Amino acid sequence: MLATLGNRLSSLTESDKTLSVSSSSDDTLDPVPMQSSLRREFSFLCSHATHHLAVIALIMGQFGLVAPPSLGVAASTKKHLQESSASVVAD
């Protein structure tokens, strides 16, 4: 399934990768249209999924379950922690 998705994404043209999306922060407001891209939308989805995984890790802790240490940790946070620990070791 992932291979099929990857093949379909790689065959998209540049015009296929440009999207018109709309969003509203309040259900009483009209959605605001804006331009986006598949790359930006996928980036948001990954970030938002990480957020949900972090919440799941917190809930697991409330039930006495141990989540994997990296569950819900953003890639940028992992990189920062690795660089910080390397800096401490080097000092």
Q: What is the pLDDT of residue 2?
A: 78
Q: What is the pLDDT of residue 60?
A: 97
Q: What is the pLDDT of residue 90?
A: 53
Q: Where is pLDDT greater, at 7 or 67?
A: 67
Q: What is the pLDDT of residue 34?
A: 93
Buried b (16+ CB within 10 A) or exposed e, 1-35: eeeeeeeeeeeeeeeeeeeeeeeeeeeeeeeeeee
**pTM, entire model:** 0.67
Task: Dump pLDDT digits (tens) for 17-74.
Answer: 888 999 888 888 899 999 998 888 988 999 999 999 999 999 999 999 999 999 999 9
